[in-house]
Structure 1
């Protein structure tokens, strides 16, 4: 994501597409990643730092979706696991498997963690 853009190569020909909604957001992400001022904390929040444009638009969409759910909208199948905690448990199990793999110097299946 250092230079934010998508590339699709078909039959040796490249075509480019946006990663975010607008070219302005892609350019903002590139600017942040190529800047000598970038300290990494900006993506996670830091007092006095403005949220990057590309992250701000994603956060607004997530908050709107959650607000719609809280006001009675039925969740789409794609996002149900995010609302039940199942996706969070899977992410934690994956991280635990990666950590165990690192310290034991072997491949660890997620099923070994989840039982």
Structure 2
């Protein structure tokens, strides 16, 4: 059996200081691959929904769907406002009822 020699690894260098990093970044060119954004991923195969290559029926269907969504959104906003107003009315009616009950209790006792 032979004894294996222990391998001694070199020590790691100290990490660069903030000033060294900034100097390195300032010295790079704008075309450095680190600063270049990657290309957009290729589009999905087939025409984009509602795009110029889409069939007229498909574009019409999408248009109607969008109009329906916008109309529904407007109705929901109006309903929300109506509910807020009714809530205010109920709160004021409840406060008036509480005041009336308190007044009746004072008269009874």
Q: Provide TM-score, normalisation by structure 1.
A: 0.23
Structure with more relative contact order (C-alpha pairs < 8 Å, separation 6 or more): 1
Q: Provide TM-score, normalisation by structure 2.
A: 0.24
Q: Which has the higher strand share?
A: 1
Q: Which has the larger radius of gyration?
A: 2
